Amino acid sequence: MNALSSPQLQVLIDGTTAPARVLVELKDFSARGLAELRGLIASGAPVLDVEMFTNDWFDAGAARMLDLLSGWEAQGVGYVLRETFTEPDGGGGRGGASRITLDELRSIVSSGQEERARLEALDDLRYGDAP
């Protein structure tokens, strides 16, 4: 990977506040097995580790993630969001992690969607696809 790779969003779950339905939601979201998810929660490891600012992120991933996390917040499920970056040396290691809030994630998603729309409009103008 290079220095321009997208940051990752990691989600860690507080196992003491996570009802069984959270495991089912995580299983559906991540395609991981229940035993694997239980192990990740028990060890304090991220249950979700999603690359941000990709086409998949903007097409559906960000909205699904916000819906999932908003539901957990409303249900009182404890979780931690971290934004991590890939080391620019190309070794694939992770740089420091910054803890973020759900409101900060909403702001990041909104800003990214606005920037993507702006760039798409410029491309449309440049290549003659504008209405």
Within a domain: residue 89? yes
What is the number of residues in the chain?
Answer: 131
* Number of domains the chain contains: 1
pLDDT one-digit tens code per residue, 79-113 = 999 999 876 555 555 567 899 999 999 988 887 77
41 closest CA partner among 62, 25, 61: 25
Within a domain: residue 118? no
Running DSSP on this structure, what letter comes out for residue 6? P
Using the predicted structure, report yes or no on whether residue 23 has a pLDDT greater than 70. Answer: yes
Question: How far is the C-alpha of 96 from the C-alpha of 82, rounded, in Å?
Answer: 10
Within a domain: residue 127? no
Within a domain: residue 67? yes
Within a domain: residue 20? yes
- Residue 113 neighbours by CB under 8 Å, 6+ apart: 58, 62
User: Where in the sequence is the domain holding 81, given as residue range(s)?
Assistant: 8-101
pLDDT one-digit tens code per residue, 53-75 = 888 888 888 889 999 999 999 99
45 closest CA partner among 32, 28, 58, 55: 32
Using the predicted structure, report yes or no on whether residue 20 has a pLDDT greater than 50. Answer: yes
Within a domain: residue 57? yes
Using the predicted structure, report yes or no on whether residue 27 has a pLDDT greater than 60. Answer: yes
Within a domain: residue 122? no
* pTM exceeds cut of 0.85: no
Within a domain: residue 120? no
